[in-house]
């Protein structure tokens, strides 16, 4: 007894489509269970705290689940707006674990009695 070719082709196609759909659906389920990583920008903070002396504390904090490497840089301008104004670049890099913070002191002590400005403060953190 011979099966009709048209019908068996249709059954084979339907079976192949069913398997392909189930496989794609199972892969989608697996992917949706993977925990989305938190953005480093969402779990790090920056703050500037003025001190009584001629300095500012630049503070980076982390609540990230992974260790992060951070950096902060700034410009110190002594005697801004005058003929003897001069600008120097400063910076520091460090690692932070979860729930840790690091403070860096931006001091204007080298300016003496001249006025000063701390400018161009840039900070960033990336996963280690």
Are residues 56 and 1 part of one domain?
Answer: no
The model's pTM? 0.67
Higher pLDDT, 46 or 12: 46
Alpha-helix residue ranges (DSSP H) falling in the chain:
5-32, 40-43
Question: Looking at the 3D structure of the chain, how many domains does it have?
Answer: 2
How confident is the model over 23-47, as pLDDT tens digits? 455 555 555 444 445 688 899 999 9
Q: Which domain holds residue 99?
A: 40-127
Give the phi and the psi of residue 87 in degrees, each rounded to 5: -120, 135
Are residues 92 and 49 part of one domain?
Answer: yes
How confident is the model over 71-94, as pLDDT tens digits? 999 999 999 999 999 999 999 999
Higher pLDDT, 52 or 29: 52
Pairing between strand 100-107 and 55-62? antiparallel
pLDDT number for residue 49:
95
């Amino acid at each position: 007894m011979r099966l009709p070719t048209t019908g068996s082709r249709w059954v084979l196609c339907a079976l192949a489509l069913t398997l392909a759909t189930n496989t794609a659906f199972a892969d989608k389920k697996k992917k949706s269970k993977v925990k989305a990583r938190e953005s480093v920008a969402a779990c790090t903070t920056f703050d500037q705290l003025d001190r009584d002396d001629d300095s500012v504390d630049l503070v980076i904090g982390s609540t990230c689940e992974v260790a992060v490497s951070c950096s902060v840089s700034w410009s110190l301008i002594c005697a801004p707006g005058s003929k003897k104004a001069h600008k120097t670049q400063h910076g520091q890099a460090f690692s932070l674990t979860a729930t840790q913070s690091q403070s860096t002191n931006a001091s204007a002590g080298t300016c003496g009695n001249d006025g000063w400005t701390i400018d161009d403060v840039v900070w960033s953190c990336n996963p280690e």
